[in-house]
Structures are given as structure tokens and as C-alpha cells.
Structure 1
Amino acid sequence: MARTRYEKFRPFFLPPGHLRYLPEDYLHLTSSLLLGSRSIDSASRALKNMGLPINQDYLEEVIEEFVTYLEDLNSCPLPSDLAALILDAKHIHQKLKDGQKVMGHTTYVALGLTLDGQKKILGLYTFEGSESLEGWKKTLEKLLQRGLRGILIVIHDDFPGLLGLTSSLFPQADIQLCTVHLCRNARKHLSQENYRTFKSYFKSIKASLSYEEGLRLFDSLLKELPQENTFVKLLAKKKEHYLAFLKYPEEVRPLFSSTNLAEGINRKIEEAERACGGYFHSERDRDFRYGVLAKELLEGRWRRVNWKYQRVAHLLRYLFEERFKNEDLLV
């Protein structure tokens, strides 16, 4: 007996009616126009004015695909074990829901490196206001709720209070403060002569054969710098957190010593913000662009694992198993 078909029934293997004979170039044009326009509304108007055979429903489908991609990325279960967690924040501007006022928001970027060297975007969470410790608490709580537990090393900058927060949430992890930010601050807070001394020593410190050797060189550096300087006192207090990356194989130290990986995401966010005219015109517009950004990375060049990392992956897994052998975190 033939089944009753609803009025809108269409076999799954057929494309939507308005796309059936649509050249593929039009589809690329639609995506490019969405990304290049200041807002979703302006892209919709441009397509309508061009008289292309692309209706509003299809435009909404394209947008929804990437918005959903980001939502899934921010809510899917996470692996309980990671080699590294990399944190950074990016201040953005966005229109509020009423569309009348542009306010500052902060996107909290959380990236992960698996024990096998796979790069992952764990979350791109956006909250109203400037970067804050409360924003970081919300972000890290979300990651924990999604299953994140055992980490070898957590990498972030020295945002006030963040070191204490990550140390308390991940007590068995090494906490690494970004060495790129360290060098920038050294240049800012030291005299030219003292900065030259710092730069020379730190080059040798990064090339140390061991963590212990790095600490000895760092102590020697501190003796060469003015002891009354507030910045130098801070270095002495947090030296272990600036050198934690030296506990790991040379092949992964560039990834473990700075937030550069997250800074790359921030640059892409800046590019998306500029394409919108300096601010995101809506939450949906922002999430669409973040979804495109994430998908291009995760399904593009981030799919390949660095060969240097692969060479020492077994050592990282051994370190992880030794550190968490009494915990219920092992794969």
C-alpha cells in the first residue's frame, strides 16, 4: 500500500527545489558574501539586489549550519585527559539585542592539545564586559562540567587572579605563564641595559637541557637585575611558573611555553570584527563567523599533527600516566 505523502514531502536524495540547478559557484559566492559583508542583513540585501537564484531560506540554512557548529563545539563532551590547556581572552565589540547600543564583550578562548598532539578548540565563550576573573571562572567551570579533568600543563598569561584559579582547579598540572608576555613586560619595565641582560640570559634559559638548569640560570639572571625593582620581585616570586615548559621534551616546548596558539585565534577574531565594520552586529552574526573560523581550522590544517610532536607523544603519555596513576583519569 502506498504511504500518504505530506504536501511538503521531498525525497532526501534531491536537493532543495531552489538549489536543484544552482551552479556551485553561486554557493561559494553566497558563503563569501556572508563573510565579506558587515552583517547578515547586508549580505541578504546584496544577494536580493543581485537577482541570484538563492532565496532567504537557503541563506538561513548556511548561517544556521555554522551557528550550530559553534554551539556543538561549546557543549560537546571533552576528553578527560589532555597534554595542554591553553587559555587567552579577546575583547570585542558587539551590538546588544535591541540593536541600539554597542557594548564591549570578551571572548574566552580555550584550546587543547591531546597527548597525541591533536589541536582542539575546547570553547569560544563570550560574556558581556571586559576580561575578568569571574569570566574565567565561568569558562573553566563549563570545561569541567563537560568532562575535562587531567592536564599536564595549563598555559595562560598573568591576568590578575588567574594563576590562583587554575592552580586550584588543576592542582596536579604545571601552570605555565606565557613567556612571550614575559619578554614584552621585561622590555616595558626594565631599563635598556637591564633588558639586554634579561634577553641574553633568557635565550640561554630557553635552551636549557633541564628544568633545574633553567632555574639556576634564572636565579643568576635575577642577581644581575635591580633587586628593588617591583617587576624583578615578581619574577622571583613566579619563576617556577615561567619555566614549567622546561620539564617537557624539547620538541613540544614552543607549544608549551606561550599562548601563541590562542593568539592565532584572536587574530582571526580581529579579522572577522574588521570585516563587520569594527563590531559584530548581532550575537548570531558573531556566532556564525566564529563557527566558520572554528570549522576551517579543525577540518583544515589542524587535522595534521606536527611530526616533532608525534616523535615524543609516547613520552607525554608516560608522564601523564605517572602523574595520574592513582586517579580515575586514564584512558
Structure 2
Amino acid sequence: MCNDLKNRGVQDILIACKDGLSGFSEAISTAFPRTEIQLCIIHQIRNSMKYVAYKYQKELIADLKKVYQALTIEEAESSFTAFKEKWGKKHPIIVRSWENNWLELTAYFKYPYEIRRMIYTTNIIEGYHRQLRKVTKTKTAYPTDEALVKIIYLATIEASKKWTMSIRDWKNCISQFAIYFEDRLDSEIAI
């Protein structure tokens, strides 16, 4: 997929937000080596919760919130240390998962709040995929690949009618992108 994007003319990706799909980080880094990779916090939390008994979930979530809602990376690291001390013996799988993914889970701390809000989750993309599944799940066979592409295209056109809201604080975000990625952001595209 990354090579296909490159072949279609994508020259650079500033930030890639991804779920826990294995091998995807390596694929992005190979095709676009300067890309910052942010792992979806929501996916990480969902993955963590499947190991926790219901009666402990609220308490564990509250402790995790201190990590991912921290204002700085230092605060997040401190909160994660406290989280490990409290939950490490009872839920070592969760702690290990957060430790193994720490760099990709905390990439968003480099940016101001407005950009963090855009990149910490892949829920927007998942919503779009849900709309595509809605139109493709009723029919299991298509006469040609082109027929499927047409249905997806028409579903995208229909879904895009609802995309009327602009990104909150976009002007501030684009200014911040220009600061963080000054040598990679084309000024004509940014406007």
C-alpha cells in the first residue's frame, strides 16, 4: 500500500496515524523514512482492556488517562511509572504492550494540543470504513473489480456530503505544521 501511494505520486507523509496492524510501521518507514508514526491511543486502550476484569476497568482507565492525557512527555513517563508500579504485577501484558509501543504511542507529545487532537486516534478513518462496509456487506460477489470500485466511489461521494465541518483550529494547526516540518511542507499546499 505504501509503495502504491509512492507510485501514485505521494512524495512525503508528515505523520501517519495507525492502528496495531503488525508490519505497518516498517512498511511506512521503508517507503517514507521521515514519517512520524503515531499509534492510535484508542486501539491501545481497547487492546489493554481485554485483559482486565470488569470491576477493575474504571480504575485502570483512570490511571491510563494520566498517561495519555499528560501535558508533556515527562509527565506521561512519570504517570506510566506510577501505572507500572500499581498494575504491573497484576497485568504485566498491558504494561509490556505499552512499553513495546511507547515511542509510537507518545509521538504526539511533540506537538501542540490542536495537532494532538487530530493524530491520537484513527476513529475518523474507522467511521469512513464503517460506511463503506455498510454498502459492500449486502452483496458478496461483484461481476468485476471495476464494479466494486464504482460502488466504493459512489459510497465515498455520498459519505463526503456529510463532511462539512472543517478541522477545528486548522489555521493554527497549519502554522504549527509549518514550524515542525518547515523543510518538508510546501507553502502553496499549506494554504
What TM-score does the superposition give when structure 2 sets the normalisation length?
0.81
Alignment of 1:145-164 (within 5 A): 145-164=7-26
- Per-residue deviation at 1:275? 4.0
Q: 1:220 and 1:173, CA in 2 relative to 1: closer, same or farther beyond 3 A?
A: farther
C-alpha separation in 2, matches of 1:140 and 1:197:
39
Alignment of 1:1-331 (within 5 A): 139-192=1-54, 195-227=57-89, 229-276=92-139, 279-282=140-143, 283-298=145-160, 300-302=161-163, 304-321=165-182, 325=183, 329-331=184-186
Task: Report the AA paired with residue 26 of structure 2.
Answer: G
When the two structures are aligned, how many residues end up with a matched partner? 184
Whether contact under 8 Å (2:3, 2:31) holds in the other structure is no
C-alpha separation in 2, matches of 1:146 and 1:273:
25
Task: Report the AA paired with residue 237 of structure 1.
Answer: N
Task: Report the AA paired with residue 286 of structure 1.
Answer: L
Query: For each residue in 1:200-233, what CA deviation from the matched residue of structure 2 results, as whole angstroms up to 9, or x when unmatched?
Result: 0222333322233223222322222235723321
Task: Report the AA paired with residue 105 of structure 2.
Answer: Y
Task: Report the AA paired with residue 77 of structure 2.
Answer: L
Q: 1:219 and 1:167, CA in 2 relative to 1: closer, same or farther beyond 3 A?
A: farther
C-alpha separation in 2, matches of 1:259 and 1:269:
16
Which protein shows a greater Rg? Answer: 1
More helix by share: 2
What TM-score does the superposition give when structure 1 sets the normalisation length?
0.50
- Which ranges of 4 or more aligned residues in structure 1 deviate by more than 4 Å? none
**Higher RCO (Cα < 8 Å, 6 or more apart):** 1
- Per-residue deviation at 1:301? 4.1
Task: Point out the more displaced range, 205-214 or 156-165.
Answer: 205-214
Task: Report the AA paired with residue 226 of structure 1.
Answer: G
Whether contact under 8 Å (2:41, 2:120) holds in the other structure is yes
- Per-residue deviation at 1:318? 1.3
More strand by share: 1
Task: Report the AA paired with residue 234 of structure 1.
Answer: S
- Per-residue deviation at 1:152? 2.6
Whether contact under 8 Å (2:17, 2:37) holds in the other structure is yes
Whether contact under 8 Å (1:186, 1:198) holds in the other structure is no
Query: For each residue in 1:258-296, what CA deviation from the matched residue of structure 2 results, as whole angstroms up to 9, or x when unmatched?
Result: 1112101211112102443xx242323311111112233
Gaps in structure 1 of 5+ consecutive residues: 1-138
Q: 1:150 and 1:302, CA in 2 relative to 1: closer, same or farther beyond 3 A?
A: same
C-alpha separation in 2, matches of 1:318 and 1:301:
31
Gaps in structure 2 of 5+ consecutive residues: 187-191
